[in-house]
Chain A
Amino acid sequence: ALEVKFVSDEEVLKHIADDTGMKLRKGKAQPSVSVKRFVKKLENISGDEAQEILEEKDYVAALGICAQDPIGNGSSVSGGEVYSFKTPKHSSRLAELASELAQTPGQSVAPDHSKCPNKTAKAPQSSRNYMFLLLMHLFSLLLQNKKKEFVSTTPYRLRKRLTAPDPYLESESEYSASCSEEEDEEDEKGDNTVLSGQKTPAKMKAASTLPPGNTPAKKNKENKMSNLVEEYFEAHSSSKVLTSDRTLQKLRRRRLSQQTLHDLLKKAPLAYAAEIKELNQLHESLYSKWMLQLHLGFNIVLYGLGSKRDLLEKFRTSLLQDSVHLVVNGYFPSITVRSILNSITEEVLDHIGTFRSPLDQLDFIIERFKEDSSLELYVLIHNLDSQMLRGERSQQILAQLSSLPSIYLIASVDHINAPLMWDQAKLSLYNWLWYETTTFSPYVEETSYENSLLVQRSGSLALSSLTHVLRSLTLNARGIFRLLAQYQLENKDNPSYPGLSFQDFYQQCREAFLVNSDLTLRAQLTEFRDHKLIRTKRGADGVEYLLIPVDDSTLTDFLEKEDEDV
């Protein structure tokens, strides 16, 4: 029963003004309450906030999310907590939290008392504030346009709010690390962060150089809340980011190769193996239920933290041995829907021949499965949400496959935004039954393909391809490439090295008697480009720059090898 009625602008303004009044008052009342709260460690929510949380609970209950989960109390987290905005941090928060975590072995983190109650209390408010702020923005815009009309009717508080510079915007300068001390001093009142200052391990340089601060001024918290939206856009609009400039290269340790990483991880014992095993057993007890539900026309999707590969693998080996099944490693970087369809047509249906498009292929498969009702196929997809499969068209095809009554699909998803892949139409085709299978087991296989930032790329592949291609070229061509490589290596310490400009390169090549005209050089370069040996890039001045897209160490190796050959 939604009611719509006309409300005049004045009334709306008045309403908002009242609201701000209340908010401000609330804000004022807050500090004393909060201090008490931390000292006594009482119930972590003051009266009106508790009310709000209760209201939210009502709402959540109405949506039907409140009941306890059979496994853990996992589902009792409300949406507000998950999606809440958060104030930006001191640049030093990372180090601080680390030291906090470090100095309280074995038990829960003490300083979190200061942070967490606030956080929980904050969550439900934020969404409301967000809405409220949007409204405020709208009206401030409106006011600017129609100032003359409105000034007389605008209540005092609102005017003040609009004209006075934001108190928080000033305190925003906390990023510059210099003025944050002031705030910190104020806050230390009832807090046990003093402890952390004393106990900070001397080893941790970063932490000790910083004041034993804690979360940004609590006093301002309520005010800050109201600026969350600005904060969000501020944090995301400016390209300038305040982080330290340290790089991994300066670190003593070198990048690890995939192999050594693997070996090292083998040495490290898996934490909580017993508990993880227990979890897995819990999930394994559901296997026969999965089978039942698959046969009744549902498809199953697994979600939750931890690799679900072993779980599915065990399901496969224990229940699917006697039936035709297809395992798809979605995390494999070169997997495509085409290859999935191909393996169905070629290996399951024993069809020889090609198809014009995946859609045709799909039609063929659907046709075959409809004709032959004895045909059954189990499809297991690890990481349905992987880079290669998450596209709209791939999902559409997979959904249509899965909607066939004799194809049973069981898949796992990991990405936090995985459900966004599916719209209503696809969801109804998939006909999912969701199963939460949090395993906590490490994603060994799934992450091994990823070009992780910290893992050194071995470059052996690039090197061999380089030598292979070059070997088939003429002597002159090789010389040309050599010249470019050497020049690039000479400039390897220059971080802003744009590449060798074409004119310079031509000059050098002429001097070395490698080419006689700029046309021959261009022909040569085209050949290189076709083999992806070089990349050209136009600089700001319109000059063409040439670059070899291989990292320096590989290039050095390559040159050494060349020298040996000659």
Chain B
Amino acid sequence: GCFVFKPSPKKRRVSQKTAIHFREGKNDSEDSELRFDTCQSLWNQIKLETEQIQEDLNKQLLDNLVSFLRRSHSEFQGKTTEWTCRMKSREIPTAALVLGVNVTDHDLTFRNLSEALQNNITPYIALLEAKDCPGIKNLMQKLMGQLMNCSTDVVSLEDEDYVQVSQNRTRCSMKSLVDWYDSVTKKTDSETLSKKRTSSSKHQQSPPVVVIFKDMESFTTKVLQDFIVIGSQHIRELPLVLIFGIATSPMIIHSLLPHSVSSLLCIELFQSLSCKEHLSTIIDKLLLTSRFPFKLGEKVLQVLINIFLYHDFSVWNFIKGFQLCIVEHFYSEPLSVLCCQLADAKKRVNSLSHDQCENIRRLPSFRRYVERQEAEKQIALLTADSFLKETTQKLLEDLHVYHENYVSVLRCLHVFACSLPKYPLGKQIRELHCACLENRVWETEEYESSLQLARMLNKSDLETMLQQCVEILVSSSGNKFDKAVEKLKEFLTQFQKLEEAFQEQDVSVSSQKELQKKTDLYHLQKTLLELKDSRRSKKLTKFEMLRFEVVDYIDSLVRSYLVPADHKTLHEIVYFNTASVLRGHLNAAPRIALHTALNNPYSYLKNQALKSDGGSISNKAPDICIVYKLHLECGRLINLVDWLEAFSTVVTAVEGANADAASSDQVDDIIHARFIRAVSELELLGFIKPSKQKTDHVARLTWGGC
């Protein structure tokens, strides 16, 4: 079943550059090379950035782990013979690393971890995965293989013959491991003593041997137990440290291992950052920034986030989806050549060809823009390329400024939105971002209600928020916010003043009350009524007035800066919006496709004969559709004879007009053959399987529509 095809050696080294395929798809534009380069460089930049983020996020965790490992075998070095120490030394120091359910992301964490350990603690690290270790023997084999290889990395420079020794892994027992460890440590000891090399002194005298179980849950308990028991026997000769990668909860250790085994472990718990926070950081650093010219449209972002939240919690997959978006955008949009840093983009605009200019004119957003201009300008835009280029440059700059401002104002709004009760605009900034991208956020009900809530904030909250907003705006790269910052600062000082004024007012009110004390019942009633009235139409206090002003000001900021992106001219250049493509590729529904093809072939085969309304199918549909439709009417078992008869009834009715009675026998055979084909196709698709319960019956494997 396998066939290897090799090209003739002459042809073989034809450079298969990816760029070629990029160009082949769209033979329209001469910019494809440039576009591809832009795409690649952008992606590399983003990849670096995400890795950096990941590293930063894990830093704390790694530091903790490293210090734990340093501590873990301090006794071992000291060679203390105290009684307590000996008791304790039966226990293997263990780090339980709770990493969350997104198992696929853990690889990167582990890679960082082993790197960090390699640099700081020990060269002896083994990474074990459950799928490699079905038995204790395989585990030991794998373990020794990795340990001895990594030791050769250190030593191999000095003597080559050592490599041979380590390669020869005939006996994989703890004994040989201990022997190996002894020889290795002795060697390094003598080396450090004799040569006094500073480079090797970064490791401790006898570095611990770290064994990392990447996916602790999937290991068979037997293997784990055995390994732990054996390891604890040799703990005094071999400073073993275990690290468990745990996806669920630390309780799993105790449910996997019996008490007798888990008591041999000295477990310390480490918690990594949750994947949701990780995603927030990624979105914050990749999307809510003007550093990267490429942007995601609302629908696309929604799809990616939904896949993350509903399917896998995998940040890595999110980034993969992001990569796909970039590729798709640059592949399908010829104008994406302008999707780069502003300075470059301006240069590139100048060298655009006529075709590309036409492409710009065809953009819907640009056409809307043209319609808003005066007649002369319209003509100029539509006919003169040079004028168009000039305008495009201007528009691109506008877009860039818009992005810069957008991010800052969005953050400010988020400061307010995330402190309101019940979070009408969403707790996360990504929700707010989506809402703003979708349509004018100030027209939504949620915005209305959150403004209302904001008008009821207390003073101290309001002050801290304003303070935060000022910080955000000051630190923003857009320099248009000087006025806004000033205004907000003014608000802050007014609040301060208010405090002083308020105290005075307080005094006056109380004095007023004092006066009223001597009135009789009638007067009291009257004053109370008046008071009630006045409260209704009460003049707002100064604080309330100020609060209204602040909220109104924020509202005005939102209205002027958080315009949805698709209202902006030329947004098509930087925004990727075809969510359906993305979803089709990442979150496909094969069963639905099959269901549609079988139930409604017209949606694929555009033939009028197949057209039908509402769920039914025409009897001229392909054989497999008819057979499928017939089988839907059956229960758990299907009689083949009945099925065949029903099928031939349908088919002969269709062909009845042109089939002669004379050749009916042959026709019957053909129908029979067609039926056989259709049935075996259904079997291949997994709808039925042969059944031995009754002769000539097949069993249905689906229940219901598909």
Q: Which residues of A contact B (CB under 8 A)?
A: 1, 44, 62-65, 67-75, 77, 79, 81-86, 88-89, 91, 93-99, 101-109, 112-113, 115-117, 119-120, 123, 201, 203-204, 206-207, 232, 235-236, 239, 241-251, 253, 256, 260-261, 264-265, 267-268, 271-272, 275-276, 278-279, 288-289, 291-293, 295-296, 298, 303-306, 316, 320-332, 334-335, 339-340, 342-344, 347-348, 359, 376, 396, 413-419, 424-425, 427-428, 431, 433-436, 438, 440, 442-443, 446-447, 450, 452-455
Q: What 3 A-B pairs have minimum CB-CB distances, sorted nearest first?
A: A332-B1, A434-B588, A102-B653
A380 to chain B, nearest CB (A): 9
Query: B705 near A83 (CB under 8 angstroms)?
Result: yes
Some 21 contacts from A to B, beta carbons below 8 A apart, are A64-B587, A74-B596, A75-B593, A75-B596, A91-B635, A93-B634, A102-B649, A102-B650, A109-B618, A232-B703, A248-B641, A248-B696, A279-B604, A295-B18, A322-B11, A322-B14, A324-B5, A327-B3, A343-B3, A348-B6, A428-B314
Whether a CB of chain A sits under 8 angstroms from the CB of B183 is: no
B76 interface residue (CB < 8 Å to A): no
What is the distance, in angstroms, from B628's C-beta to the closest C-beta of chain A? 10
B305 to chain A, nearest CB (A): 9
B6-56 contacts to A (CB < 8 Å) = 6-7, 11-12, 14, 16, 18, 21-22, 24-25
Are A98 and B630 CB-contacts (below 8 A) given A105-B619, A431-B320, A436-B584?
yes
**A419 nearest CB across to chain B (Å):** 6
Is B539 engaged at the interface, CB distance under 8 Å to the other chain? no
In this complex, what residue of A is CB-closest to B332? A289
Contacts of B584 in A (CB 8 A): 69-70, 75, 434-436
Q: Decide if B198 is an interface residue (CB 8 Å cutoff).
A: no
Q: Determine whether the beta carbon of B2 is less than 8 Å from that of A70.
A: no
User: Bound complex: CA of A329 vs CA of B686, how far in Å?
Assistant: 18
- Are B696 and A247 in contact (CB-based, < 8 A)? yes
Tell me whether B684 is interfacial, beta carbon within 8 Å: yes
Contact A292 B331 (CB under 8 A): yes
B456 within 8 A of A: no
B78 interface residue (CB < 8 Å to A):
no
Q: Is B275 an interface residue (CB 8 A)?
A: no
Beta-carbon contact of B605 and A276 below 8 Å: yes
Q: Which residues of B contact A329 (CB under 8 A)?
A: 1-3
Q: How far is the CA of A102 from the CA of B634 in the complex (A)?
A: 18
Contacts A70-B581, A415-B686, A453-B640; A296 near B18 (Cβ below 8 A): yes
Which of B310, B605, B685 has its CB near the most chain A CB atoms (within 10 A)?
Answer: B605
Q: Is the CB of A247 within 8 A of B647?
A: no
Q: Which residues of B contact A248 (CB under 8 A)?
A: 640-641, 696
The verdict on A292 contacting B684 (CB below 8 Å), with A67-B580, A95-B646, A105-B653 known, is no
Instruction: Determine if B320 and A81 form an interchain contact, defined as CB atoms under 8 angstroms apart.
Output: no
Whether the pair B676, A72 counts as a contact (CB closer than 8 A) is no
Additional A-B contacts beyond A68-B580, A452-B679 (16; CB < 8 A): A64-B303, A65-B589, A72-B603, A97-B633, A101-B629, A101-B649, A101-B650, A206-B642, A256-B669, A260-B673, A264-B672, A288-B24, A296-B327, A328-B2, A415-B686, A416-B702
Inter-chain contacts of B634 with A (CB < 8 A): 89, 93-94, 243
Q: Known: A271-B622, A322-B16, A453-B640. Is A63-B649 also a contact (CB below 8 A)?
A: no
Cβ of B2 and Cβ of A327 under 8 Å apart?
yes
- Assess A292 versus B22: contact at CB under 8 Å? Given A119-B615, A241-B693, A256-B672: yes
Instruction: Select B636's contact among A81, A241, A425, beta carbons within 8 Å.
Output: A241
Residue of B nearest to A215 (CB): B633
CB-based nearest B residue for A86: B704
Cα distance A435–B586 in the bound complex, in angstroms: 9
A264 nearest CB neighbor, chain B only: B673
Instruction: Give the docked Cα–Cα distance between A447 and B683 (Å).
Output: 9
Q: Are the CB atoms of B2 and A343 closer together than 8 Å?
A: yes
What distance in Å separates the Cβ of B484 from its nearest Cβ neighbour in chain A? 32
User: Which of the residues B5, B695, B702 comes within 8 Å of A247, measured between beta carbons?
Assistant: B695
Q: Is the CB of A440 within 8 A of B641?
A: no
Contact, CB under 8 Å: A433 / B592: no
Which B residues are CB-close (under 8 A) to A376? 16
Tell me what chain B mostly uses at the interface: helix, strand, loop, or mixed: helix
Alpha-carbon distance between A345 and B594 when the two chains are bound, in angstroms: 37
Q: Which A residues are in CB contact (< 8 Å) with B312?
A: 424, 427
User: For A427, what are the chain B residues with a Cβ–Cβ distance below 8 Å?
Assistant: 104, 312
Is B637 interfacial (CB-CB < 8 Å)?
yes
Q: Which residues of A contact B706 (CB under 8 A)?
A: 82-83, 416
A120 (CB) vs chain B CBs: closest residue: B615
Measured in the bound complex, the distance between the Cα atoms of B588 and A84 in whole Å is 19
B324 touches A107 (CB 8 A): no
Task: Tell me whether A89 and B583 are in contact (CB under 8 A).
Answer: no
Let me know if B197 is at the binding interface, CB within 8 A. Answer: no
Q: Per a CB cutoff under 8 Å, which of A108, A249, A428 touches B317? A: A428
Q: Is B674 an interface residue (CB 8 A)?
A: yes
Choose from B14, B25, B320 the contact partner of A292 (Cβ within 8 Å): B25
A428 touches B104 (CB 8 A): yes
Whether B618 pairs with A328 at a CB distance below 8 angstroms is no
Contacting pair B642 A95 (CB below 8 A): yes
Q: Which residues of B contact A278 (CB under 8 A)?
A: 606
A116–B649 CB distance below 8 A? no
Docked CA distance A303–B21 (Å): 23
Contact between B603 and A73 (Cβ–Cβ < 8 Å)?
Answer: yes
CB atoms of A256 and B676 under 8 A apart: yes
Inside 8 A of A298's CB, which chain B residues have their CB? 324
Contacts of B5 in A (CB 8 A): 316, 320, 324-327
A268 to chain B: closest CB distance in Å?
5
Most buried by A among B18, B299, B579, B638: B18
Residues from chain A with Cβ under 8 Å of B586 in the complex: 433-434
Q: A413 vs B18: C-alpha distance in the bound complex, in angstroms?
A: 26
Please give, as numbers and ranges, the residues of chain A lying within 8 Å of B604 by CB-CB distance.
71-72, 74, 275, 279, 438, 440
B670 at the interface (CB under 8 A from A): yes
Report whether A82 and B580 are in contact in the complex, using a CB–CB cutoff of 8 Å: no
Q: Would you give the shortest CB distance from A167 to chain B, in whole angstroms?
A: 21
Distance A442 CA – B627 CA, assembled complex (angstroms): 14
Tell me which residues across on chain A come within 8 A of B704, comparing CB atoms.
83-86
Among B12, B299, B617, B676: residue with most chain A CB under 10 A: B676
Q: Is B612 an interface residue (CB 8 A)?
A: yes
Q: Which of B2, B4, B583 contacts A65 (CB 8 A)?
A: B583
**B668: Cβ under 8 A from any A Cβ:** yes
Tell me the minimal C-beta distance from A472 to chain B in angstroms.
31
Bound state CA distance, A539 and B19, in angstroms?
Answer: 70
- Cβ A447 vs Cβ B681 within 8 A: yes
Cα(A452)–Cα(B644), bound, Å: 14
A62 partner residues in chain B, CB cutoff 8 A = 306
Contacts of A65 in B (CB 8 A): 583, 587, 589
For the complex, what is the distance from the CA of A454 to the CA of B579, rounded to whole Å?
45
Asked if A305 and B624 sit within 8 Å, CB to CB, the answer is yes
